Amino acid sequence: MRTSVVIPSRNEGATVVALADAVRAHCDEVIVVDGHSTDGSPARLREAGVTVVEDGGLGKGDAIRRGLAAAGGEVIVTMDADGSHDPADIRALVAPIGAGEADLVIGCRMRGGSDEFAGTWTMFVRLWGNNFLTQVINTRFGTALTDSQNGFRAIRAAAVAQLGLRENRHSIELEMVLRALKRGLRVSQVPAHEYARKAGKSSLSVVRQTPTFLRCLLRNIW
């Protein structure tokens, strides 16, 4: 199936140019959605022949929504620009959609392993939050997911229009899986390894975004 890869990126100049180049071998189209980076990465990407679109300045969710709208593939993969996701996993993410077995496929770090799950309080809280949200989803929809929050995932392009995504921040992945299950779409997982980001700083503040995640959960669970 014709596959687009959407990479949201804000000041990821240390990794995004090489990543976009490496991704080309695994898909038909690469789109970097830039968050008004000030590190010169958009110009370097364009020089390298990569399609760059600008986000609306509202956050990662806004970037993902714009990337999904701009993508021309029958399947769209989303992945981080920070080197934490392996382009070699793209084909495994797309395969269940190509086989007609799934509409949304999430890369599962519980089965693929993760360098990120380090013994820090931040990672403890993030892992706990992921497990909590995943169990709420499993209880509500009778699913058996183990990692509902990974941003490394593939979605059937025809399904995107049914979802009406609105989240502007990191809660876009939660909104996507909730709305997909509510509409009766098939959600599955494949193992995918997550590496610690190779450079730069995380944009996800657990303290600031917890209310955003809870609001998104309450808004979309029923």
Ligand X SMILES: Nc1nc2c(ncn2[C@@H]2O[C@H](COP(=O)(O)OP(=O)(O)OP(=O)(O)O)[C@@H](O)[C@H]2O)c(=O)[nH]1
Residues in contact with ligand X by the rule CB under 6 A: 8-10, 12, 33-35, 55, 59-60, 63, 80-82, 84, 116, 151, 197, 202-204
117, β-bridge pairs: none
Closest CA to 89 of 30, 32, 156, 25: 25
Task: Name which of 45 and 185 has its Cβ closer to ligand X.
Answer: 45
State in angstroms the smallest separation of the CB of 84 from ligand X: 5
Residue 130: name its binding partner from ligand X, Mg ion, none (Cβ under 5 to 8 Å by kind): none
Task: Name which of 99 and 207 has its Cβ closer to ligand X.
Answer: 207
Residue corresponding to tokens 């809280």:
125
Tally of CB atoms within 10 A around 95: 16
Closest CA to 134 of 206, 221, 212, 205: 221
Residue whose CB is nearest to ligand X in the complex, by number = 35
Choose the binding region for Mg ion from 94-102, 105-113, 160-168, 193-201 (rule: CB under 5 A): 193-201
State in angstroms the smallest separation of the CB of 55 from ligand X: 4
Task: Name which of 109 and 197 has its Cβ closer to Mg ion.
Answer: 197
State in angstroms the smallest separation of the CB of 96 from ligand X: 23
Q: Which two tokens stand for residue 99?
A: 């086989």
Q: Are 73 and 2 in contact (CB under 8 A)?
A: yes
Positions in 66-105 near Mg ion (CB under 5 A): 80, 82, 84
Closest CA to 44 of 24, 10, 18, 67: 18
State in angstroms the smallest separation of the CB of 197 from Mg ion: 5
Task: Name which of 84 and 220 has its Cβ closer to Mg ion.
Answer: 84
State in angstroms the smallest separation of the CB of 111 from ligand X: 18
In the chain, at which residue ranges do the beta strands (DSSP E only) sit?
A: 3-9, 29-34, 51-54, 75-78, 104-108, 153-156, 187-191
CB neighbours of 219 closer than 8 A, spacing ≥ 6? none
Positions in 29-68 near Mg ion (CB under 5 A): none
For helices 206-220 and 172-182, angle between their N-to-C axes, nearest 10 degrees = 20
Positions in 152-171 near Mg ion (CB under 5 A): none
State in angstroms the smallest separation of the CB of 127 from ligand X: 11
Binding site for Mg ion (CB under 5 A): 80, 82, 84, 197
